[in-house]
Amino acid sequence: MLKFYPSFDHIMNEFKYVGGNLTGLMHGVIAPMVHMPPEPNLKSMTGRMPHYHKETFHDPEKNVEYHLSGYGIFNEEAMIRLMGESVERYAPIGIEKLFRDKVEYASYKEISKKGRTMPLEYLNIFAPEQQKMIAQIMPSYSSEMATEDDIIGWISCPSLVHPGENTYVPMQLLLTGFIKNQEAGEKYFAPAFSTGTASHKSVEKALLNALIEYVQIDSFVISWYTMQKSKRVIIDNPDVLECLERCGFGKDSPYEIIPLYVTLPDMDFPIYTVVLRRKDDKFPYLIVGTQGDLNAPNGVLRGTMEATAIIFMHMFHALFDPEKIEFSNKESIFSDLDTNVLYYGVPDKADEINNLLDQLMDQTILLSEIPSRFEHDTKGQISHLVKEISKVSEYAVYLDITPPEVMEKGWSVMRVLVPELCAMCLPGFPFKNHPRLKKYGGVVNEYPHPLP
C-alpha cells in the first residue's frame, strides 16, 4: 500500500528541511549523475555541504571532503540516501559542542579507577614508525605511543554488550568533529572515522545500520590487508540478476562483477567485497564496494551498487582533474580516501592488479548457499549483531548523536564504537598494531585499500 503519492513530492518536502542555500545542512542544489553509455545506468546523485568544519575547528584553512552521494535503481531511492548521508556527515561535527561538557580529561591511570575503560592497546593501533609518520602528516597528533600518564579526553557511553552499564572511551575515536583541548594538555593518537555512524527516520534502524557498517568495514580491512582467502560468490538469485540487468550489468556490460564473501570465522553475518573489473581494459579498470546485509542476496546487490556509484568519481577526475590521477599513481602516500580509489582505475596496472586480486580469491560459493538472518525483523537483526559483537568485544559502546535541529525533523543519528574491531583506516596506514589485525596474521598486503 502506497503511503505517499506521488512519492517524489513527499521526498522533496523532506529535502527542504535538510537542503537550502541559506539554512540547509547541505546546499540546495542536487546534481544527478549523467548516464554515459555503456556505463551502468544506476541512478546516482551528489551534493555539497557548507564548510562547518572551518567553524568547528576554528581553522579557515582546514579542508574536509564529505563524499556525499546517494544511489539506487530509482531517483527516489538515490535522493533518500543522499539526504540520509548529509545528516550523517553533519551530526558528528554539529553535535561537538553539546558533548564537550561531558568529556573528562584524565590519564588512563586515573580514569580507569572510575569504571570500565577501553584499554590503550586500542588507541595505540599504529606501529611506532607509523605513529611518527602520522604526526608529520597531521601535526596535531602525537609522534609517540600513548602511555598511562598521557591526558586524554574520555566520555562515558552506554555499553553495547553490558546492558545498563557504561564504558569510558576516548572522545577522539568517537566524533570526527571533536576538538583537542590544548589547555588540559590533551594528546591525540589516532584519527576518528565515520565508521559506525548512521542516520535514519527510526532510532532502531539507525542503530542497525551503524552496527552493520562497523562489522562490514572490519571484515573488509582484515581480509584486504592480511590477504585472507575469500570465496568468489556465484550469483544465482533471479531477483538480483534481474536488478543487475536493469542497471546495465547484462552480458553486454563492460564490467565483470566479482563478489567476494569476506565474512570472518568469528562473525555470523554475510559480508561482501564487490569488485567491478573492466572486460575491455579501459578506464576505470577496477572499482570496489563493500556491504554487509542480514539479507544475503541484498548484500551483493547493494555492494554492486556502491561500487557502481564510484565510477562517476573516476569520470569526474578524468575530465576535470587528470593531474590528480597522475599524482595518485606516482606520488601519493595514500593519506586520504581519494587517491587510493584513483590508483586502481588506471588500466596500465591491469596485470599487477589482477595478480593482487587472484591472491585474494579462493574457491567459489553460490549466493543461494549463504544463509540470511532475520531479514525482515529490525530488532532481531540488532540482537543477532550484538550477540556476534559480544563474542569479540568487551568495550563496545553506542551513543545517540542526533543534533536537536535534525531531531525535530524526525531524524536519528546513532554512533557505535567497537574498539576490538578494525574501523576504516587511511589507505596507506593500516593499523599494524591493532590486536585484531595481528590476530589474523598482521599486515601482509602493502597495497592501499580501494574504498572512498
**Could you report the per-residue pLDDT of 334-358, keeping only the tens digit for each?**
999 999 999 999 999 999 999 999 9
The residue-averaged pLDDT of 284-311 equals: 95
Measured distance CA(12)–CA(19) in Å, rounded: 10
Beta-ladder partners of 234: 366
Listed in sequence order, the residues at least 6 apart from 189 whose beta carbon sits closer than 8 Å to its beta carbon are 123, 124, 126, 131, 141, 142, 145, 146, 172
pLDDT at 137 over 60: yes
Asked whether the bond before 38 is cis by omega within 30 degrees of 0, the reply is yes
Residue 131: pLDDT over 90:
yes
Q: 240 phi and psi, to 5 degrees? A: -65, -45
3-state secondary structure of 166: strand
- What letter represents residue 363's amino acid? Q
User: How far apart are the C-alpha atoms of 175 and 193, rounded to whole Å?
Assistant: 8
Distance, in Å, from the CA atom of 421 to the CA atom of 218, rounded to the nearest integer, reads 6
- Which helix H or strand E contains 155, and what residues bound it? strand 152-158
Q: In terms of pLDDT, which residue wins out, 228 or 31?
A: 228
- The edge-to-edge listing of strands for the beta sheet with 152-158 is 104-106, 152-158, 166-170
Query: Does position 436 have pLDDT exceeding 90, yes or no?
Result: yes
Cβ(440)–Cβ(222) under 8 Å? yes
Nearest to 86 by CA among 20, 2, 38, 145: 20
Rounded to an integer, the average pLDDT of 165-176 is 95
Q: What is the pLDDT of residue 92?
A: 87
Give tens-digit pLDDT for 59-80.
Answer: 777 777 677 888 888 888 899 9
Q: What is the pLDDT of residues 356-365, one digit of tens each?
A: 999 999 999 9
Q: Which three cell numbers stand for residue 413?
A: 543519528
Buried b (16+ CB within 10 A) or exposed e, 56-74: bbeeeeeebebebbbbbee
Distance of CA 125 to the CA centre of its chain: 18
Whether 314 shows a pLDDT value over 60: the answer reads yes
C-alpha cell at 104: 573528562
Residue where the block lists cell 528541511: 17
pLDDT recorded at residue 11: 87
pLDDT at 23: 77
Nearest to 414 by CA among 178, 219, 174: 174
Using a pLDDT cut of 70, give the percent of the chain over it.
98
Question: What gap in Å lies between CA 179 and CA 52, rounded to an integer?
Answer: 13
What nine digits make up the cell of 16?
A: 527542504
Domain boundaries, the chain: 8-98, 101-198+376-440, 215-369
Please determine, for residue 1, whether its predicted confidence score (pLDDT) is greater than 60: no
Distance, C-alpha 248 to centroid of its chain: 26
Name the DSSP letter for residue 430. Answer: -
User: What pLDDT does 37 receive?
Assistant: 82
Q: What is the pLDDT of residue 188?
A: 96
Mean pLDDT for the chain overall:
92
Give start and end residues of each alpha helix (H) in 95-202. 96-100, 108-111, 128-137, 171-174
Cα–Cα distances in angstroms (integers) from residue 414 to residues 100, 179, 197, 202, in the given order: 17, 20, 6, 10
Give the per-residue pLDDT at 427.
Answer: 97
Please tell me the predicted confidence (pLDDT) of residue 2.
63
What gap in Å lies between CA 49 and CA 24, rounded to an integer? 9
Q: How is the chain split among helix, strand and coil, in percent rounded to 5?
A: 40, 15, 45
The reported pLDDT for the residue numbered 5 is 66
Say which residue the cell 540470511 belongs to. 372
Q: What is the mean pLDDT of residues 21-38?
A: 81
Q: Supply the pLDDT for residue 6.
A: 67
Q: What is the pLDDT of residues 271-282, one digit of tens each?
A: 999 999 999 999
Chain segment 34-64, per-residue pLDDT in tens: 778 888 988 888 888 888 777 777 777 777 7
Candidate from 43-52, 112-121, 179-188, 339-348 with smallest mean pLDDT: 43-52
Instruction: Tell me the pLDDT tens digit for each residue of 231-264.
Output: 999 999 999 999 999 999 998 999 999 999 999 9
